[in-house]
Amino acid sequence: METAAAKGTLVVLAADLATTEELVRLIHQVGPHIAALKTHVDMVEDFTMESWHEVVAAAHTHDLMLFEDRKFADIGKISKTQMGGIYDIRSWADIVTAHRVSGPDIVDGIAAGWDEVQRIGGVFLLAQMSSRGNLLSEGYTDATIATGAASPHVLGYIGNGSAPDEVSSLRKKVGEGKMIWTPGVNLSAAEGVLGQRYGHPAEAIGAGADGIIVGSGIHGAADPEAAAAAYAEASWNALLSR
Ligand code: S5P
């Protein structure tokens, strides 16, 4: 939020690109207009730890936290080891996502992963999803929030940005103590590919989101910098009017 307030943006960039070179270029293009950098490290085709450090350094240049959208879902002890491995997520990510499906101990497993390298990070639990037909029912959302409320490692929840009523219902349940970041937002597209759904970013913020996760609306735009600035403005104005 310090970064967000300094830059006047609630945009979390979903940097879904295939090479580290493209990632570094995009980060420098849009860095002034975004508040955090979300990655899917396992979609990067030319991954080496060395080249990944360039991505991390580029993010730090723009005062961005590294948010690896790993969507951990296994039992606690396996999630802990998956924080290491070839990508060594624990060594560079400040935030990760996790599903609640395997039980509440996944959160402690992830925290133990950071602990092994003397780092501390935060977990976003998926309380809702933006994709059509997902299985995250109301009861599942409630159990997810109960887990998050009981854990100092959980800093927030992923909500469904494509449906403002779902975001406001989530906000009511969560209260003000944790963050809600919402993917499934786009300024122009009504529908995404392969089951993705979109809503307007200002409506997601108006309904209670603290951050909007934007991917193709920015990296797929003809002018990513102008697009990032437009999302930043829409998100910040929506926050001010909320
Ligand atoms: O429910 C979800 C949760 C997430 S984290 N729906 C999502 O789309 N996401 C992520 O947000 C997804 O993994 C992708 O990186 C981003 C949305 O990308 P866009 O191109 O549709 O904006």
pLDDT at 189 (0 to 100): 79
Q: In whole numbers, what is the pLDDT of the chain averaged over residues? A: 98
Q: Read off the pTM.
A: 0.98
Q: How many angstroms separate the Cα of 3 from the Cα of each of 8, 22, 171?
A: 8, 23, 22
71 tagged catalytic: yes
What number does the ligand 1 atom closest to the CA of 69 have? 5
Q: Give the pLDDT mean for 125-140.
A: 98
pLDDT tens string 18-31: 999 999 999 999 99
Q: Does the beta carbon of 129 lie inside 6 Å of ligand 1? A: yes
| pLDDT above 90 for 191 | no
pLDDT at 3 (0 to 100): 97
Which one of 7, 38, 71, 77 is the catalytic residue? 71
Looking from the CA of 58 toward its CB, the CA atoms found within 13 Å total 21
Q: Which residues pair with 13 in a beta bridge?
A: 37, 214
Q: Give the pLDDT mean for 193-213.
A: 97
User: Which top CATH class is 2-241?
Assistant: alpha beta
pLDDT tens string 28-64: 999 999 999 999 999 999 999 999 999 999 999 999 9
Domains of the chain by residue range: 2-241
Q: In this structure, are residues 184 and 197 in contact, taking their beta carbons and an 8 Å threshold?
A: yes
Cα end-to-end distance, the chain, whole Å? 16
Q: Does the beta carbon of 164 lie inside 6 Å of ligand 1? A: no
Specify the 3-state DSSP secondary structure of 212.
Answer: strand
Alpha helices (H) along the chain: 2-7, 20-30, 49-61, 76-82, 89-92, 105-116, 138-149, 164-174, 201-206, 216-219, 224-241
